[in-house]
Structure 1
Amino acid sequence: MELQDYWRTVRRRWRLVLGSVLVVLAVAAVWTWSVTPTYASTTRIFVSTSQTDENSAYTGNLFATQRVASYADLVTSNQLAERVADDLGDTDAMDLREQVTASAVPETVLLEIQATDADAERARDIAQAYAEQLQLLVEELETPRGETTAVVKATLIDDAQVARTPVAPQPLRNLALAGILGLLLGVGLAVARELLDTSVKTADDIAEITSAPVLGNIFQDTDAKRAPSEVLFTATPWAEAFRVLRTSMQYVDIDNAQKVIVITSSLPGEGKSTTAVNLAVTLTQAGQKVALVECDLRRPLIADRLELDGAIGTTSVLIGKVSAQDVMQQYADTSLDVMVCGQIPPNPSELLQSQAMEMLLLDLRQRYDVVILDAPPLLPVTDAALLATRADGAVVVVSHGRTTRDQLSTAIERLGSVDATTLGVVVNQAPAKKSASGYGYGYGYAPLEDEAVTAGGGKRRRR
């Protein structure tokens, strides 16, 4: 992946990134405010030698500097911890060792001792006791045998003080680090999910699977739940998406004046029936004579969706009870003729492969400009592939971010295995683009009304 790919991934999955940041911040906040505050107190000890002349003082300073590092190790020794425990009383020496640290100030003869505790006053007492006991221990260790004066002296120069603010936890630092960690975690999860996600989302994904063109992108819109007779005759992005699809369909199989087109998908729930219905209604708006035939004889939806009588339909024609003309129903105020499923048969595949089905399609091709066949999905059953061999081809509907590349590839292979033509792909539930809808509402969806006559007889323009 290139840098721009990472950026697109973060933009596409910004909710995951934001969620990761918020979760890590929440955990850090809970931990920060639930941890017992810890206070620290520090003392300083100056290490010196007893030399008085200039040369001896310089040598003694080097010696003292080297000694400071040794004294820092003494602070964490068992012997000094036991002395401090005896001095403070009712204190465990092992616990004291974990509460105290010592460090030599670089290029100096200063030694810093820091003690931490949940009680600020106790932290001060521990640091002060360590400094005092270290003084005595240094004096004992640095006094030569038979002498009364120590070669090196440790002098307490800064007494321990009671801290007013705790050293831990540090809310601002913790939250800042949590924010950075959450951001890195979120980006990592987004990239990992992108790499593991095999769903179809872009035209490039489809191009890798099939050479068939992308005929249209049907954006997510609340208008999808409304009746086609209501929404497709209004100026909405949803209606415009189907007009674009209608325009693309004009370039499909241009050698045939009468077209029979199968609308199918890989799996159920990808929007094939909705696409078939709305495309059929949109084609009638262009003055074409259109028939919509429900060939999904297993899970029919069109009768309920369009509020039509579902008693007789495709199955009635195929078994010879009625003619095609008798079962055609006009949808609402449109010129669309609809043949619903009718009674669900026990043998859908046999009916769709029958001679009666072939004769039905020949009859419809002669009487209509376009015949739209709403077929079952390709992967569960073979009905759609068999229908596509008798039609001019199939349009495959994929659900953006849901249909996987393997599913689409297998569906295309099903059509190819029976020498059926894949006319194109329609991407359903595509995320709406703000720029596109903004252009549409500003230009395509809000035309001016010309020269409305005023009450006084004059003319004015209005929006």
Structure 2
Amino acid sequence: MNGGSSLRALRRSWWLVLVAVISGLGIAGVVTTREVPQYVTTTTFFVTTPGKGTTDVMQGSTFSRERIKSYVDLVRGDRLAGMVAGEHPMGLSVQQIQERITAQAVRDTVLLTVTITDVDQARSERLAHAVLGEFTALVETLEGSPGADSPAVKLEVIAGPTPVTVTSRPLRNLGLGLLAGLLVGLAAAMLRETLDKTVRTSGMLLETTGAPVLAVVPHQGSMARKPALLRGGSTPGAESFRQLRTNLRCVDPSVRILAVTSAIPGEGRSITAANLAVMVAETGSRVLLLEADLRRPRIANYLRLPGRTGLSDVLAGRIDVSDALQQWGKHPLWVLPCGATPSNPSELLGSGKMATLLESERWNFDLIVIDTPALLPLTDGAVVAQAADGVILVARANMTGQEEVRAASAALRTVHAQVVGCVLNDVGRRDVGLAYRYGVGVRIGVRSRSAGEVLPLPTAAQAPDQTPDRAGTWWQGTAPSDGRRPVEAGVKGAGDPGAEGPRTSAR
């Protein structure tokens, strides 16, 4: 994992590191409060070999150092513990005595240190004296030779038995807890980053779909449910939708019917479709927002419009489209809600009446934005996307899986739908910069620009060649030209979400 990935992992999972550190400090605190004080009594032996000459002394010193290695095991063995338990009853078994005795040979010396550790200070001292006497006697017995006046090895006590109280060490424990928690938290953050297969940046979305990322929309909170505030506002969310509007103009200004879809439900395609329609209408272009999600409609509720009649009723022949359209706000934005939930949504959306409706309304509006159902659960979304001039694929940061995005892109390719671009939605505000930083090089039209750059509005000289049936594209904001049937007056409308009752105005 490189430095950029590590930094991104820490930014995304800082809370995980914090929880691990707090947990480590908490465990260290509990251990410290419950730690029982230990009492240590130490005795130091000097091991010598009797000798008269210099050569004997040097040889004896070497012999003693070799012997000390064996004495370490002898002190910790069960023979000495058995002698202590038999001669000095203290209510401890042989195994318990062994657990309390440790021995260490001081390197490059003839010193041997024997340590007794116990939770009872008095018993620690008594056990140290008992071990001293029994160990000395055991060595004399083992090192003694028949007929010799003195043993080959002599033990002399040069220090101890000295009792020392070993209390708990809170600073050491807390330091170890902090270090352990930090390491565990960092490891968990890196592991989460490695195992996370969701789309997190615009670069990942571009690589997965092969389509340009037109906008990165930050997390909106309550703002996501208030398009009236986005319209005309200067919030980061409003600017991201304006950027979507501007980049869409440069990608393909000839698109007149635009489907907004996603791989799975809950990725914000309805919010994206509604706010894009609001932003385009803000420029003076005539926009129709069509709710084609006939199973789980959201647009009418989102825009606070009556949704009792709408697209399903038009397709079923129960009402004329001019009677079902509702104007929203002060700009030229009309909405065709879902209407009554039908029993056969796929059939209605794929019917000839739907194709006829789209072709007829193509000449009444500069842009038709269709809120399309999610692609993977049902076939409804692919059916509508096939009838559109272009498709915008919405993915939700840190939620939509890369495999789901690939499957959605494949579904659109299967029906020969043209994906004009993608939108990365619900990006954490602190991660918006990272989302752009790791998504540089997004290709818009014939120019290569970063995903975070707001592209300029094309001039008439820069506009692509237009066929007669595409004259007056929505980005130019022109009125209906020859060949387009005039707009009928007297269509039902609704005012701003906060207004009292619907507002009637001419289309």
- Normalising by the smaller structure, the TM-score range is 0.7 to 0.9
- In 2: Cα distance, 1:64 partner to 1:218 partner: 79
Alpha-carbon distance in structure 2 between the residues aligned to 1:99 and 1:59: 34
CA contact (8 A) 2:386 2:416 kept: yes
Bigger shift: 146-155 or 90-99? Answer: 146-155
Q: What is residue 241 of structure 1 aligned with on the other side?
A: 240
* TM norm structure 1: 0.88
1:42 matched to which residue of 2?
42
Q: CA RMSD in A?
A: 2.2
* Corresponding residue for residue 323 of structure 1: 320
- Aligned partners of 2:304 and 2:202: how far apart in 1? 35
State the Cα deviation string for residues 303-343 of structure 1 (Å, max 9, x = none).
22212111211112112232222211111344311111111
Residues 360 and 55 of structure 1, relative CA distance in 2, 3 Å threshold: same
* 1:202-241 aligned within 5 A: 202-241=201-240
1:390 is matched with which residue? 387
Q: What is the letter of the counterpart of residue 60 of structure 1?
A: G
Change (3 A) 1:226 1:15: same
Q: 1:208 to 1:82 in 2, by over 3 A?
A: same
Deviations 1:95-140 (A, max 9, x none): 1112111111112111100111112332222223212221222233
- Where does residue 193 of structure 2 map in the other structure? 194
2:139 matches 1:142: no
Aligned counterpart, 1:179 = 178
Quick one: which amino acid aligns to residue 196 of structure 2?
Answer: D
CA contact (8 A) 2:21 2:185 kept: yes
**Which segment is superposed worse, 278-287 or 157-166?**
157-166
Q: Are positions 1:25 and 2:25 aligned together?
A: yes
Counterpart of 2:503? none
For 1:61-72, what aligned pairs fall within 5 Å after superposition? 61-72=61-72
**Kindly tell me: are residues 388 and 79 of structure 1, through their superposed partners in 2, closer, same or farther at Cα, counting changes over 3 Å?**
closer
Distance 1:274 1:373 in 2: 12
The residue aligned with 1:407 is 404
* 1:219/1:238 contact within 8 Å kept: yes
SS in structure 2 at match of 1:251: helix
Distance 1:151 1:319 in 2: 114
Q: Could you say which residue in structure 1 is the equivalent of 2:337?
A: 340
Cα separation, 2, equivalents of 1:315 and 1:79: 95
1:199 to partner: Cα distance? 0.7
For 1:117, the aligned partner's letter is: D
Identity in percent: 38
Stretch moving more, 389-398 or 15-24: 15-24
1: CA distance, partners of 2:262 / 2:39: 67
1:304 corresponds to which residue? Answer: 301
Distance 1:7 1:128 in 2: 59
**Letter paired with 2:192:** R
> What residue in structure 2 maps to residue 457 of structure 1?
none
Structure 1 position 82, deviation (Å)? 2.0
**More moved, 190-199 vs 48-57:** 48-57
| Contact 1:223-1:238 within 8 A present in 2 as well | no
Contact preservation (8 Å) 2:45, 2:112 = yes
> In the alignment, is the contact (CA less than 8 A) between 1:101 and 1:115 conserved in 2?
yes
Q: Kindly indicate whether the alpha-carbon contact (under 8 Å) linking 2:37 and 2:165 is maintained by their aligned counterparts in 1.
A: no
On the 8 A contact 1:229/1:333 being kept in 2, the answer is no
Quote how far apart the aligned CAs of 1:380 are: 1.3
Higher mean displacement: 68-77 or 169-178: 169-178
Structure 1 residues 342 and 110: alpha-carbon distance in aligned structure 2, compared to 1, 3 A threshold: same
| Cα offset, 1:44, TM superposition | 0.4
- 2:73 match: 73
SS in 1 for 2:378: coil
Please identify, of 263-272 and 231-240, the stretch whose mean Cα deviation from structure 2 is larger.
231-240
SS at structure 1 position matched to 2:209: coil
Q: Partner of 1:100 in structure 2?
A: 101
Give the Cα–Cα distance (whole angstroms) in 2 for the partners of residues 398 and 421 of structure 1: 17
Deviations 1:236-264 (A, max 9, x none): 111111111111111232235xx110111
Kept in 2, the 8 Å contact 1:223–1:231? The answer is no
**CA drift at 1:14:** 2.2
SS in 2 for 1:250: helix
Mapped to 1, the partners of 2:378 and 2:62 lie a distance apart of 90
Match of 1:261 among 258, 262, 265: 258
1:366 is the counterpart of 2:363: yes
Q: Does 1:6 align with 2:6?
A: yes
CA distance, structure 2, for counterparts of residue 343 and residue 152 of structure 1: 105
Letter in 2 for 1:318: L
1:171 Cα offset (Å): 3.6
Runs of at least 5 residues in structure 1 that lack an aligned partner in the other structure: 438-443, 445-463
How far apart are the structure 1 equivalents of 2:298 and 2:250? 29
**SS at structure 2 position matched to 1:267:** coil
Partners of 2:186 and 2:330 in 1: CA distance: 52
Closer/same/farther in 2, CA of residues 267 and 436 from structure 1, 3 Å limit? closer
Which SS does the other structure have where 2:165 is aligned? Answer: coil
Contact 2:38 2:165 in 1 (8 A): no
Alignment of 1:433 with 2:430, yes or no, is: yes
Equivalent-residue separation in structure 2 for 1:70 and 1:262 (angstroms): 86
| 2:271 paired residue number | 274
Output the amino acid matched with 1:131. Answer: L
1:342-392 superposed Cα distances (whole Å, 9 cap, x missing partner): 111111111111221112112221011111111111111112211122211
- Partner of 1:161: helix, strand, or coil? strand
1:261-289: CA deviations, max 9, x gaps? 01111111111111111111111111111
Structure number with higher relative contact order (C-alpha < 8 Å, ≥ 6 residues apart): 2
Q: Deviations over 1:50-82 (max 9, x none)?
A: 323333322322222222222222212333212
- How many pairs does the alignment contain? 434
Cα deviation 1:184-228 (Å, max 9, x = unaligned): 333332232222221111223223322211111110122434421
Change (3 A) 1:43 1:213: same
Q: Secondary structure at the match of 1:419?
A: coil
- Hey, what's the Cα distance between the residues in 1 that align with 2:361 and 2:88? 103
The residue that corresponds to 1:60 in the other structure is 60
- Provide the rounded CA distance (Å) in 1 between the counterparts of 2:4 and 2:227: 40
Aligned to 1:455: none
Greater CA drift, 415-424 or 32-41: 32-41
How far apart in 2 are the matches of 1:433 and 1:389? 37
CA distance in 2, matches of 1:435, 1:307: 30
